[in-house]
Structure 1
Amino acid sequence: MTHNTPLSPRPLRELDDSHGGVLTTGQLRSHGVSTAELNEQCRPGGPWQQILPHVILLHPGPPTSEERLHAALLYATRQSTVGVPAQTRPEGRHRSPYPEAMITGLAALALYGFSSAPSLPALARIDVLVPRLRRLRSTNTVQIIRTPDMPTPRQVTCIPVAPVPRALADAVAELSDAASVLRLMTETVRAGHCEPAAVVRELTQAKLLSRPHVVGAVDSLVAEGRARAEDHLYRMVREYGLPEPIWNVDLRLPGGPHLGGVDAYWPDQAVAMELDTRAPRQDEDALWSEYARKREHLERLGITVVYVTPKKLRHAMEEQAAVTRTALMAANDREPAAYVVVLPR
């Protein structure tokens, strides 16, 4: 065999199975199906049907949800390497069959198992995220969404899917019903799909925070995230045998200024803990400056401040308990802290 000898095409049945019963016209031609044969197969009442431009469903009747997803991805990538046999691609069999395309929006949330999202069969259109410079038009059943920065997709049932924060932002962009937006955001936190800060970041980048019904849902999202983080904080203290602190208090100098609120305070050791549940909005720098000023003021008074994020509490609770225990044990080696008044908040 010479270097220029073409590789034998894979059997059509094998390629059919690998793409969920849908193929592009280019793939069919590369596997020996002529234009005349394709037209004959796709005749009215024939065994095949065109369900998207240049995308063929290899059986009669309506497509399944899986076939609709594969068809949407094939439509978005039909001019790329998707028609080339895997063994001839630069990255071989490990390359994604759908380069630079992924399911997003409500279809992605349905794949993630969101109960507040419509089921896949109920969706009239499937959103597909592609690079900004791709020249594609949306169709009646596929909505093309362009982005200058493609995220790394997650694989859900062998389908490339946008990360939850991006998928949620794309879904919210198409929704005007405040109740639907609120349900989706609430489930995002309660089901542990991601942190509120990641969602707010995507909504900010998508310029969606100017919409009143989105702002209201974000406030509920942040409150829900804080409540869950506080639950994890209580659990950390209980499960890892830390001394019981005074919860949710304000610190104040006797007869002096307010020093700030903290989520937990151990007065005997002069250790304070604060949950960093800031949502990244346009005033993030100012808010962080406020955090930093409070921390510097407390530490000048001899009070150790331990900051912890909801993500660390959820994924590295034992490590955060160790950090807290170390701060408590180090109290005996420090100079006594200034006396502060502890008030409930």
Structure 2
Amino acid sequence: MTHNTPLSPRPLSHLTEAAQRRVLTATALREHGVSLGAANERCGPGGPWQLLLPGVYLLHSGPPTSDERLHAALLYAGGECPPIPAQQGPATRAGRSTTAAQAAPATTAAPAPAVLPPAMLVGAPAVRHCPPPHPPEAMITGLAALTLHGFTGAPSLRALDRIDVLVPRTKRLRSTGCVHIVRGQSLPDPEEVTGLPVAPAARALADTVAQLTDAGVVRRLLVESLRGGHCEAGTVVGELLRARLLGRPHVRDAVDELVAESRALAEGMLYEMVFRHRLPDPCWNVDLRLPGGPHLGGVDAYWPDQAVALELDTRTPRPHIDQDAQWSEYARKREALEGLGVTVVHLTPAKLRESLEQQAAIVRTALMTAVEREPAEYLIVTAR
């Protein structure tokens, strides 16, 4: 027996109960007793199968569905491993007793057929997915991933003529057919979307932007990532910075709009928090200073009677901004205000989005406990 000799055919009755996926690799077919030659023969002119990608077979003759194309792309990249359960005899199956009718005497096995009966393969559904390997071998990224994540600005899967697959940089693989290989030095942990390993929205967005030259499309996708609640602006900018895309003028302009949009949305959530949870009206967007003294800095909201200041942290990583210096400025301002008896509440857009009620409770607690603290220094409040 040679290495290419197919194994004894495994029964596919466990695959014929639902029609979800009909895509298998040459290796999987071989485990079912179908040799490479037999599989290629069935892919000939007028045959019932198709060779969708190198080593990946579509077990019907019609056009592949979007789901089949996605699975085929992952199988080609080696990022998905549909398990083929070990063959079990009736006497060893869980929950069944061994009877004479269920366990027939063993007989001499007939030679393995070169090709399984079409009725047992055509229409076979997807087997249960393996958990994503660690480290991940491959995942859907780019526009296909954005579509799976629910971006309305991304085209439908049917309209995509290319599927981007993110693989490790060291993997020897080339783009072919509908599959475009995207290499990464480090791969993120994939998210499971419709049962598929998909790159997180921010990483998929960066891989998409890397291939786009239309400033309008880039801007719309970046803004939608924020408005749609797919990811935070800081996460998106961090991925774009990692991919060295912020040097492109149209990307840099889109990021400026993204940061401004992030700030506006965070302020909107802050207004909603105060209104919905009946907090006292603060002085919005003000500068604080000591009478005749130095400027202490600006805050997003200030309750002068309780000496409580609220500040939104909407910082994003930028190549031309020193993040350490920016954080030092935040810390300096907070230390100066607290030294004068002002309570500073620090919120982020993510905290507001995750739990508006919880953040309102934090602010309310700071306001209510003001009477227990030493009176703060008198500060001059001016509009920013």
Alignment TM-score, normalising by the size of structure 2: 0.81
Cα offset for 1:287? 0.9
CA distance in structure 2 between the aligned counterparts of 1:248 and 1:272, rounded to whole angstroms: 10
Q: Is residue 365 of structure 2 the alignment partner of residue 326 of structure 1?
A: yes
Displacement after TM superposition at 1:240 (Å): 1.8
Q: How many residue pairs get matched?
A: 334
Distance 2:208 2:16 in 1: 32
Match of 2:148 in 1: 111
Q: Which moved more, 1:186-195 or 1:282-291?
A: 282-291
Counting only pairs closer than 5 Å after superposition, residues 136-215 of structure 1 correspond to structure 2 as 136-215=173-252
Displacement of 1:84: 4.9
2:60 matched to which residue of 1? 59
Tell me which amino acid in the other structure corresponds to 1:85. I
Change in Cα spacing, 1:117 to 1:331, as seen in structure 2 (3 Å) is same
Q: Which has the higher contact order (CA 8 A, sep 6+)?
A: 2
Question: 1:14 deviation in Å?
Answer: 1.2
Native 8 Å contact 1:251 1:340 kept in 2:
yes
Bigger radius of gyration among the two: 2
- Asked if 1:95 corresponds to 2:134, the answer is no
Can you list the C-alpha shifts for 1:272-303, whole angstroms capped at 9, x where unaligned? 00110101234221111111111111111111
Farther-moved stretch of structure 1 (19-28 vs 213-222): 19-28
CA RMSD of aligned residues (A): 2.3
How far the C-alpha of 1:189 sits from its partner, in A, is 0.9
- Tell me which residue corresponds to 2:282: 245
1:85 is aligned to: 84
Stretches of structure 2 that go unaligned for 5 or more consecutive residues are 1-6, 88-127
Instruction: State the 1:87 CA deviation.
Output: 6.0
Q: CA deviation at 1:8?
A: 7.4
The secondary structure found in structure 2 opposite 1:272 is: strand
Other structure's SS at 2:164 match: strand
3-state SS, counterpart of residue 278 of structure 2: coil
- Name whichever of 107-116 and 248-257 sits farther off: 248-257
Q: Is the 8 A contact 2:8 2:32 kept in 1?
A: no
The answer for the alignment partner of 1:26 in structure 2 is 27
Indicate which of 325, 335, 357 corresponds to 1:296: 335
Question: Deviation at 1:86?
Answer: 5.0
Greater shift, 333-342 or 14-23, is seen at 14-23
Q: 2:351 — aligned with what? A: 312
> What letter is aligned with 2:184?
T
Q: Which runs of 4+ in 1 moved over 4 A?
A: 15-19
Amino acid at match of 2:140: I
Structure 2 counterpart of 1:3: none
What are structure 1's unaligned runs of at least 5 residues?
1-5
Taking the aligned partners of 2:363 and 2:178, their CA distance within structure 1 comes to 53
Q: Structure 1 residues 86, 172: CA separation in 2 closer, same or farther (over 3 Å shift)?
A: farther
Q: Distance in 2 between matches of 1:228 and 1:173?
A: 26
State the alpha-carbon separation in 2 of the partners of residues 182 and 175 from structure 1. 11
CA distance in 1, matches of 2:47, 2:178: 22
Cα distance in 1 for partners of 2:83, 2:277 equals: 55
| Distance in 1 (alpha carbons) for counterparts of 2:292 and 2:270 | 31
Task: Compute the displacement of 1:155 (Å).
Answer: 1.7
Q: Please state which structure has a larger fraction of its residues in helix.
A: 1
